[in-house]
Structure 1
Amino acid sequence: MMVNLMDKLQILRKISQTAVFIKFILSGSYVLMLIGLMDKFMLSGFAGKNFIIIFLAVIVLTLIFGRVYCGWLCPWGFLFELSYILRVKLFKLKKLPELPENIHNKLIYLKYIVLFLFIIITVFQLNLYALLGLSKNAMALVVLTVFTIISFFNPRAFCKYFCPVGALLSILSIKPLFKLKLNNNCVRCKLCERKCPMQIKLTNDVNQKECVRCFECKSACKKDAIDFKI
C-alpha cells in the first residue's frame, strides 16, 4: 500500500513539475520565477495581485511543508532533475554522484552569499546585465544551460550551492510544520542516502532546510522507515 501511495505521490509531483515547466517555457521569460517576481517588485515598488498571491502561497507552503516549491514547482529544478536522471538511466547508477562531504558541507552556504548579492544588486539597482552585455533572459539561459550540464554530473548542483530562491526558502524551512523523520523501522541500510539528489545524510540527521521534498528517499526505502508528518 505504501509503495502504491509513493508511486501516486511521485506521479503527482511529475505532473505538477511538468505543468509549471510548460507554463515557464510558454511565458518566454527564463528568469527564475520567484526571483523574477521579487526583482520586478523591488525595482518598480508595485505589488500586483499575482505577485502577492504567488509570493504568499510559496511562503505559506514552505512554512508548512518545507521546500516543496523546489521539489514540486520550480521549472529550473525540474530541468536539473531530468539531467541527472538521464545519467542514472544511461549508466544504470545505483548511487547518485556526490562531492566529498567536507567540500559539500561548505558549499551549501554559498547560495546565501548569492542571495545577499542579488538583494544588494536589486536594492541599489545595479545594472549587472548591461555590464555583462546580456539581457536578463540571455543571462538566465546561459546559467540554465551551464547548470543543466553540471547537473548531469552532480545532481541539482545549482539547487544545492547557488540558487538564491533555494537560500531564501531554506531560511523559512528551518522548522517547518511537517518534517521528514526516520522512525524505528530504519536499519541504516542508507538506500535513502544513495537516492537523495541534495546529498543529505538522512541516517545522521535530516537537514530540513536542505531537503526539497522530492521524496526520492521514501521511494527508495524498503522498510517504510521515513515519515513525513507534524
Structure 2
Amino acid sequence: MNKIQILRKISQTFFFIRALLTGFYLSIIGFVWKFIFGYGNFSNFRIIAIILAIIGGRIFCGWMCPFGFLFDLMYKLRVKIFKLKKLPNVPEYIHNKLKYFKYFVLIVVIVLGYTFGFKVFTDLYLLSYSLLILFLVLGFIYPRFFCRYVCPVGALLSIFSKFSIFKLILNKDKCVGCKLCERHCPMQIKIVDVDKINQIECVRCFECMSACRKESLSFSYKK
C-alpha cells in the first residue's frame, strides 16, 4: 500500500467515525435525503463536496463518503477471501447502460422531495436498512455496485466533476497496455484503449495509479 492509499484509508476512516459520532445511523435513504436537500449540517457538507468535485472530481465519493468506506471493505473482503487478481466486472453492454440509472434515481428523489415534502424520506428506516444489506451483498459481488449504478449523490457530484480542473491522465508513451490499472478499478472504467478517461465515473480512489508499475497514470491539471 503506497502513501496515497494510506492517506485515503485514514481519510475514509476519519469521516466514517465522525459520521457515527454525529448521529449517522447508516440509513442510505436518510443520507441521500439530507445530502441532496442540504438538511442541517449537510448543507455545508454538500457545498464542500461540490467544490471538491469541480476542483478534482468525485473526491467525496472516494475519500469521505461513509457508505463508500463500507462498500470498499466489502469488495476488498471478497478479493482477500478468494485471492482475486482481477476485480469482477458487470458485462460491458449492461454496465454501459446501467451506469446512467443513478441519474434517474436523482431525478426521482428530487421530484418526490419537492412534491410530497422532505418528510417522505424520514419514516423509511426499515426499507433503508434493507437496502443497505442488499447493496452490501451486491457490493461484495461487484465492487461499489451502489456507487456505480444507484447513488444519486454520486450522480449529482458527477455532473459537477465533468468540469473538474484536475483529472486522471494516462501517459501513453509510458503505458505498455497491460491493463493492470483496469483490473483494479472498482468503478469498471476503461483507461487504456480510450481517447479520454471517463472522469465523471471516477471516484478518485487511485487504485489504478497504485496498480500501475510503469507510473503511466497521474492526477494533474490538463485542458
Whether TM-score is above 0.5 comes out as yes
1:77-116 equivalence runs, <5 A: 77-116=68-107
Is contact 1:29-1:137 (8 Å) kept?
no
Q: Does 1:23 align with 2:21?
A: no
Runs of 4+ that moved beyond 6 A: none
Task: Please name the residue that 2:5 is paired with.
Answer: 10
- What secondary structure sits across from 2:116 in the alignment? coil
Residues in 2 aligned to 1:75 and 1:51: alpha-carbon distance in whole angstroms: 13
- 1:76–1:144 Cα contact (<8 Å) kept: no
Counterparts of 2:25 and 2:81, CA distance in 1: 31
Cα distance in 2, alignment partners of residues 223 and 151 from structure 1: 29
Q: Report the alpha carbon displacement of residue 129 of structure 1 after superposing the two structures with TM.
A: 5.3
Change (3 A) 1:8 1:68: same
Letter in 2 for 1:30: L
Q: Which amino acid aligns with 2:179?
A: K
Task: Answer yes or no: is the 8 Å Cα contact 2:33–2:121 preserved in 1.
Answer: no
Q: Secondary structure at the match of 2:2?
A: helix
**CA distance in structure 2 between the partners assigned to 1:186 and 1:117 by the alignment:** 41
Given that 1:80 and 1:156 are in contact with CA atoms closer than 8 Å, whether structure 2 keeps it comes out as yes
Q: Which runs of 5+ in 1 are unaligned?
A: 1-5, 42-47
Q: Structure 2-normalised TM-score?
A: 0.89
8 Å CA contact retained: 1:66, 1:172: yes
Alpha-carbon contact 1:30-1:137 (below 8 Å) kept: no
Alignment correspondent of 1:172: 160
Which range is displaced more, 73-82 or 208-217? 73-82
Q: Summarize deviations over 1:73-121 as a string: whole Å, max 9, x none.
A: 1111110110000000001000000011111000000000000000011
The CA RMSD measured in Å over matched residues stands at 1.8
> Residue 8 of structure 1: CA displacement?
1.3
Whether the 8 Å CA contact 2:38–2:44 is kept in 1: the answer is no
Q: Which residue of 186, 191, 194 maps to 2:183?
A: 194
Q: Secondary structure at the match of 1:222?
A: coil
Conserved 8 A contact 2:19-2:66: yes
CA distance in structure 2 between the aligned counterparts of 1:199 and 1:94, rounded to whole angstroms: 14
In the alignment, structure 1 residue 147 sits paired with structure 2 residue 135: yes
Identity of aligned residues (%): 51
Gaps of at least 5 residues in structure 2 are none
